[in-house]
Amino acid sequence: MENTDPRTSDATESADEAVAGELETLSRQLGEAEAKLAEMRETVLRERAELDNQRKRLQRDVDQARRFANEKLLADLLPVLDNLERGLAVEGGDPGLLRNGVDLTMRELLRVAESNGLKVVGATGDAFDPERHQAMAMVDSPGHPAGQIVSVMQKGYVLNERLLRPALVSVSK
């Protein structure tokens, strides 16, 4: 019972050719998709490696910044240390000259501190600021209005607008 009908044979051949053509198309598309997937995997791996390298580089930079954060300040302090050593090396001598040398060294130290963002807080005559001053005593002072600093027991300091230590002061009533 062989089918000898030419139309059926042509239909089968045509269906086989269509399936073969579709199979070839699908195989080609699968190959392209696999190639694209491999390319994407490679890209992801490279991106991960780049992120990891960047993270390591950033960590190394942060560590270096921490280790050498005070380098400028310490370099600025070296002349102050030199002057103190010179002052200590002098034997005998005039107490007035020693006082002048200490005064100059103190001014130089304050200059270095101010150039690095340190400011003195709490001068006599300033208005009392509870954010920057700590009142140790309230005193009657006819020459000063209420709430004004009469005397400073210990200077306060601010580093770049951030309070390091409040000034200990006496305030007029």
Burial class of residue 167 (count of CB atoms within 10 Å of its CB; 0-12, 13-18, 19+): buried
The CATH number, out of the four listed (1.10.1040.50, 3.10.180.10, 2.30.22.10, 3.30.1490.390), of the domain defined by the range 118-173: 2.30.22.10
Q: What is the pTM of this model?
A: 0.59
**Phi, psi of 120, rounded to the nearest 5 degrees:** -80, 140
Helices (H), the chain: 6-67, 71-89, 95-115
Tokens 């045509």, residue?
14
The vertex-50 CA angle with 44 and 55, nearest 5°, equals 125
For the chain, domain boundaries: 1-69, 70-116, 118-173
pLDDT by residue for the chain (173 residues), tens only, comes to 455 555 556 778 888 888 998 999 999 999 999 999 999 999 999 999 999 999 999 999 998 888 888 888 888 899 999 988 888 887 777 788 888 888 999 999 999 999 989 999 988 888 999 999 999 999 988 888 888 999 999 999 999 989 999 999 999 98
